[in-house]
Amino acid sequence: MEDSRRYILLGNVRLRADVLRRYLKKSHYWLRYDSKIARMELWANHGHGGEVIFKAENVPFETAKRLANELGLENQDLDSWYKWNPVVTLKFDGSADAAELRRELLELGIPFHQYESKEGWEFSDGQGAYSPPMWTKDKVLEEIREIASRYKESLSTIP
């Protein structure tokens, strides 16, 4: 028999936060609670601006707090929680160098957007763009490894 304590009750919806957490991809998430109208909103930003995942009305604060905790979000202030992960971009031209950059991103668990390119490969960390001839594959691999090192703690969590 299934344990009903594993669910979070949101009105008529029973939510398994542990399952949702397992399938969320690495991104930037935040949960807001508005105590004036008892509304909870879960948002994500994966490089396309903030997008609402869902809103729930008439939710007690304790429910919002429990969901935030079970999703692994960190307390930001009294009524909001967040989780941030770096997200980078790779313009992929099919070359061996681009394939090696992609492989490194995958092996290190760094979330990334991949776009097809006919004009050569390019890597972007959100702060700058790195592409030949100014940047070699080996220099970009160093940058990728630095990102993995800098955000090791964040990248080791789910989501």
Report domain extents, the chain: 4-83, 88-155
Assign 50 to helix, strand or coil. Answer: coil
Round to whole Å and give the CA distance between 68 and 80.
9
Task: Check whether 1 has a pLDDT greater than 60.
Answer: no
What digits encode the pLDDT tens for the residues 16-56?
Answer: 988 888 878 788 899 999 999 999 999 988 777 888 999 99
CATH architecture of the domain with range 88-155: 3-Layer(aba) Sandwich (3.40)
Which tens digits make up the pLDDT trace of 80-111?
999 988 889 999 999 999 999 999 999 999 99
Q: Which of 141, 132, 81, 90 is nearest to 111 (CA)?
A: 90
| Residue 58: count of CB within 10 angstroms of its CB | 11
C-alpha span between 50 and 133 (Å, rounded): 34
